[in-house]
Chains A and B, each alone.
Chain A
Amino acid sequence: MPVMQYREALNQAMREEMLRDDRVFLLGEEVGAYNGAYKVSRGLLDEFGPHRVLDTPIAELGFTGLAVGAAMAGLRPIVEVMTFNFSILALDQVVNGAAKMLYMSGGQFGIPMVLRGPGGSAHQLAAQHSQALEAWYCHVPGLKVVMPATPADAKGLLKSAIRDDNPVVFIESEVLYGMKGDVPEGEHMIPLGVADIKRPGNDVTVIAHSKMVHVAMEAAKELEAEGIDAEVIDPRTLRPLDTGTLVESLKKTNRAVIVEEGWPFCGVGAQIVDLLQAQAFDYLDAPILRVSGADVPTPYSKSLEHLAFPDPRSVVAAVRRVLNRQ
């Protein structure tokens, strides 16, 4: 199996889908001549031309809305936001437009669009360029929300997202673009809404997405040394959430820790806790604990930034608590 970077896997997914379907096109800031701010779209302008790979003005609301309108009229746009921090500028078009068009029109207008780009915390980028906003999008009926943690998932999920007839918010990890891994060639499709058990285990279920999967895996390694066998599950798609896989795991482990980079209040983890307590209450031997980003804007200083996001140590500590092993 070929080994490639996360960004190359994404690139391959877009390339294959653009070859497969003429209606798929890419637009965003710097996606063409510059090859993308994070080089995810490298080579696509050369291969597909300016008709299908469009450099836009710095106008997130305008070009995202243009994509929604193009989707209403038969195209399948991929919108790249330079980072999800800037997607806030386009929020009206996504929340009031893309997500609701099908419903408001009584089923007449689906929006087959992917809004993708990097999200999550990044190194010392400070408050406005380093944050996890997935909970905002997860809140909205009509949207799907996908966050791949590995190169193989990145490719398989992006291909499915592009073929999905609904608006998909596809949040990549800014710090995983260089990560390498095995990626199946060709028709590698991962269905949306299916979680992946990244590490099977029996003692505790650790649920994490995107970059936090790797933090959870490191924590699991440390825990193994203490004789604790953690199961790490990556939902991969946050909406719709594969609750079934999480509940099954809980039936086995009876304990869970949820890890996310986002803010704690109304976070993704809060939603997962709610679903699990409602559907698996009788299997729980301890309260479910959450490890999240600190409830603050992201600080610049390295020493403060380090305190603002979950790390393997904080995950290990939470696992010990749910196992009463302090």
Chain B
Amino acid sequence: MKSGSTARSVANVTETNGAETSASSALAERARRLDASLLKDLLEKMLLIRRFEEKAAELYALGKIGGFCHLYIGQEAVGVGAISFLGPDDYIFCSYRDHGQALARGMDPGALMAELCGKTAGCSKGKGGSMHLFDKRLGFYGGHAIVGAHLPLAAGAAFASRYLREPRVTLCFFGDATVNIGSFHESLNLAQLWKLPVIFICENNEFGMGTPIEKTASIVHLHERACAYNMAHAAVDGMDVLAVRDAVGEAVERARKDSLPTLIEARTYRYMGHSMSDPTHGIYRTKAELEEHRRKDPIKRFISALEGIGVITQEYVEETDNRIREIVEQAVVFADQSREPGPEELLADVYLP
């Protein structure tokens, strides 16, 4: 999987409408090979993320969620596709843009919402917030808010798996702008040098905050950075959940069988601002540009592919969407009812005894 064909198919997607149709039929083609229950599960997870994030935006506007809050809307296919290939013992590391991956991994939406609201029932007891989601039992090893700082951590967890001869793999998600920081390079070198079972997933949503990636990276095809470390790499259409699943699947096999890392660039797009304090468009991108990308919505595209091959019906989608909205409502109720941390929590968890 040294880039090649997948990279080219991504380029097509972003060019013409004709190519878009062909990308959709590629998605339908992949779907045909998979179990209906798996396909429905993927769709459900993507919808859950979408509805959860929409609700998080509402709660942010109401002041129930504070601080920095980075939403995943538009990028659902990446987290869901990638994580769908993992086993229960595998590890996941994320940046601060971590709600989607946490839900894809099966984190309880109530625990997640409670964390965003700073409540004790939150997955990090309300001490981490949006950018620091943790769930050890799920192998969810955090949201980390210093750009690039979690890449060495992911390499380290993969190192531990190899050291302990455990067959785990580690997925590490980060944004496009992260390929320019030193920790990215130090981690890739160590991962390849020491043959660590880690998959680096660069979610290329085209911007680091308000700066387009071509203004900050000396190369366009970010996955090619792996060449400098002799590491396997691939680009994939990050708006196609099954393409992501396939690409990550190959990388997971490589990690599990040969204990080797991979760099995957998933070409995606974020529909919201960088964080809740950033408008969706106006400064660094136009409304038209945003609308154009919205037409490639990964969820809509998946739904139409699944409807096309007869796996689901419109009624099913409506019914599922309603069910998910209800789950999200319940998550809000749970968060609302959860206790604020008491003053005794302030000094707890600084040191282990």
Binding site for B on A (CB under 8 A): 25, 51, 54, 56-57, 59, 61-75, 92-93, 96-97, 101-110, 141-142, 144, 165-166
Contacts and interface: CB of A to CB of B under 8 A. Distances in A.
B189 interface: yes
A267 to B, nearest CB: 23
B205 interface: no
Interface of B: 91, 93, 122-128, 132, 134-136, 141-142, 144, 146, 149, 151-161, 163-164, 182-183, 186-187, 189-190, 193-194, 348-353
Contacts of A25: 163
B128 A105 contact: yes
A66 B159 contact: yes
Nearest to A65: B152
15 contacts: A62-B152, A63-B186, A65-B155, A69-B152, A93-B152, A96-B149, A101-B142, A103-B350, A104-B128, A105-B127, A105-B142, A107-B348, A109-B136, A165-B352, A166-B351
Contacts of B158: 69
A73 B164 CA distance: 10
Contacts of B160: 69-70, 72-75
The 10 closest A-B pairs by CB, nearest first: A69-B156, A65-B152, A62-B186, A106-B125, A69-B153, A73-B160, A105-B134, A66-B156, A106-B124, A70-B156
A40 B155 CA distance: 26
A213 to B, nearest CB: 26
Contact of B163 (A51, A68, A93, A97): A51
Given A25-B163, A93-B149, A61 B182 contact: yes
A71 B142 CA distance: 14
B351 A142 contact: yes
B149 A142 contact: no
Given A59-B190, A70-B156, A65 B161 contact: no
A103 B38 CA distance: 36
Nearest to A59: B186
Interface of chain B, main secondary structure: mixed
Contacts of B134: 104-106, 108-109
B72 to A, nearest CB: 20
A109 B128 contact: no
Given A104-B142, A106-B349, 6 more contacts: A69-B158, A72-B160, A97-B153, A102-B351, A108-B136, A166-B352
Contacts of B144: 97
Given A65-B183, A73-B161, A109-B142, A104 B156 contact: no
Contacts of A104: 124, 127-128, 132, 134, 142
B153 A103 contact: no
Contacts of B127: 103-106
A109 B155 CA distance: 17
B186 A72 contact: no
A107 B146 CA distance: 20
Contacts of B141: 69, 72-73, 109
Looking at B128, B132, B144, B153, the one whose CB has the most chain A CB atoms below 10 A away is: B153
Contacts of A59: 186, 189-190
A141 B182 CA distance: 26
B136 A65 contact: no
Contacts of A57: 186, 189-190, 193
Nearest to A63: B190
B326 to A, nearest CB: 27
A6 to B, nearest CB: 28
Contacts of B152: 61-66, 68-69, 93
B215 to A, nearest CB: 24
A103 B183 contact: no
A250 B336 CA distance: 52
Contacts of A56: 190
A142 B189 contact: no
A57 B185 CA distance: 12
Contacts of B161: 73
B350 A110 contact: no
Contacts of B156: 65-73
Contacts of A165: 352-353
